[in-house]
Amino acid sequence: MEENAPLDTGMTNAPEDARPAGEWLEGYWRKTIPWAFRTAWMCWVFAGFSALISLTGYQSMMGSEGGLTMLGMIFSVLLIYSPVFALGYFIHGFGRQLQTALTMSDQGALENAFTHLYRTMLAGTLVAFFWVLLMLNHTYITLNFYSNF
Amino acid sequence: MENKDEIPDETSQGHSELNAEGQPALLLSDVLMDRARQIGRAGKIVMILFLTLCGLYTVNLLIDFWEWQTTRSGDFYLLEGNNAYQVWRFCSTAIMVYLFVRGAWAGFQAMRNIYTGSRYDDDDALLNGFEGIKPMLKWFTIWGAFWLLSDLLEKIYLWNSLN
């Protein structure tokens, strides 16, 4: 006599029913890793260099301003460039996790890599929004200045 | 009977349970697809903001150029006055805007494809999207390197001209 099959036969959840990424996709990811590391380093150098330039601009005020004001200035500079630093951190995390996922065939690391990429995009939104605001302000001042000629 | 004319799916080509190195294959799980959708959505906003930034930067560059052209008097000699520095500044800014636009445009296309691919289970779009991440990072890195180099040169030039 034929046995009854369980009712949940054939009903599977991820990852069993998920599609394999495939060699092409894994190949693209592999090529992306070195550029993720380069971009991360570039972000850190960019943030560090820009913060240093801004801080040297305040150097002339060092003697005249109080300690608390100077501390506030340093803090504000660090606050301005911290999203760029975070951008670098998340891109580096994306590259590192992607490398682990591909070398160890680690599904969890792959999902973590894309979580880092998502955070990169969130930090990128903050940076882009801030830069657009700054540029809008600059354009407004420039146009105002030349309209008086 | 198996259909021999069936075109193999690109994302699952050569895969069953193990990949080429004999390890378990990485999967496009639901979690990954959800994440890809989020990346695509947020990424498109970032890239649109970056492209807007490039537009504003170009407007500022053109205003600066127009102002320089209208206030400059006499014949143009590259090595006279501040002309060499101004020409260098305009050229470097134009190159920087170009590099940034390349990165933002590559990023926008990648994010659009990732979003479409993950939203509508379109494997071709997903492949193109993930392929587009590398050029996006590459152009932004080149832009960053050029920006640092030109800014450093400008600082050295200004330092030398002031002292």
Half-sphere CA count of A113, side-chain side, radius 13 A: 25
**Mean pLDDT within A83-90:** 94
Which residues make beta-bridge pairs with B27? A20
Of A14, A25, A135, the CB nearest to B11: A25
Q: For residue B65, count other CB atoms closer than 10 A to its CB.
A: 15
- Spell out the residues 6+ positions from residue A16 whose beta carbon is closer than 8 angstroms to its own: none
- What pLDDT is recorded for position A62? 64
Considering only residues B70 and A94, tell me which one the structure prediction assigns the higher pLDDT. A94
Write down the domain spans for chain A. Answer: 26-147
- Name which residue leads in pLDDT, A12 or B22: B22
Residue bearing the bigger pLDDT, B156 or B77: B156
- If you measure CA to CA, which chain B residue comes closest to A136? B56
Is B137 among the domain residues?
yes
* Three-state secondary-structure class, residue A20: strand
Q: Total domain count for chain B?
A: 1
pLDDT tens-place string over residues B91-141: 999 999 999 999 999 999 999 999 999 999 888 999 999 999 999 999 999
Q: Which domain holds residue B68?
A: 28-162
Shortest distance between the Cα of A94 and any Cα of chain B, in A, equals: 12
Three-state helix/strand/coil letters over chain B: CCCCCCCCCHHHCCCCCECCCCCECCEECHHHHHHHHHHHHHHHHHHHHHHHHHHHHHHHHHHHHHHHHHHCCCCCCCCCCCHHHHHHHHHHHHHHHHHHHHHHHHHHHHHHHHHHHHHHCCHHHHHHHHHCHHHHHHHHHHHHHHHHHHHHHHHHHHHHHHC
What per-residue confidence (pLDDT) applies to B85?
A: 84
Angle at B41 between CA B98 and CA B58, to 5 degrees: 20
Asked if the Cβ–Cβ distance from A111 to B24 is below 8 Å, we say: no
Q: How confident is the model at residue A89 (pLDDT cuts 50, 70, 90)?
A: very high
When pLDDT is cut at 50, 70 and 90, the band that residue A7 belongs to is low
Nearest to A127 by CA among A73, A77, A74, A87: A87
Q: Assess if residue B20 is contained within a domain.
A: no
List A99's β-bridge partners, or say none. Answer: none
**Which of A12, A29, A39 is the best substitution to test chain B (most B C-beta atoms within 10 A)?**
A39
pLDDT for res B14: 42
- Smallest Cβ distance to A39: which of B15, B130, B141? B141
Q: What is the rounded average pLDDT of the residues B20-46?
A: 88
Spatial separation of the C-alpha atoms in residues B23 and A106, rounded to whole Å: 10
Amino acid letter at B88? W
Q: Is A11 helix (H, G, I), strand (E, B) or coil?
A: coil
Q: How many CB atoms lie within 10 A of CB B119?
A: 15
Distance linking the first and last C-alpha atoms of chain A: 99
- Whether pLDDT at A12 is above 50: no
Q: Is residue B21 part of a domain?
A: no
On whether residue B72 sits in a domain, the answer given is: yes
Distance CA A20, CA B15 (A): 7
- What confidence score (pLDDT) does residue B33 get? 93
Share of chain B above pLDDT 90, in %: 53
Q: Is residue B18 part of a domain?
A: no
pLDDT (average), residues A60-88: 81
The mean pLDDT of B85-89, rounded to a whole number, is: 86
Inside any domain, residue B92: yes
* pLDDT of B74: 72
Position with higher pLDDT, A67 vs A40: A40
* ipTM of the complex in this document: 0.81
Instruction: Summarize the confidence of residues A94-108 as an average pLDDT.
Output: 94
- The whole-number average pLDDT for the span B74-82 is 74
CB A94 within 8 A of CB A116: yes
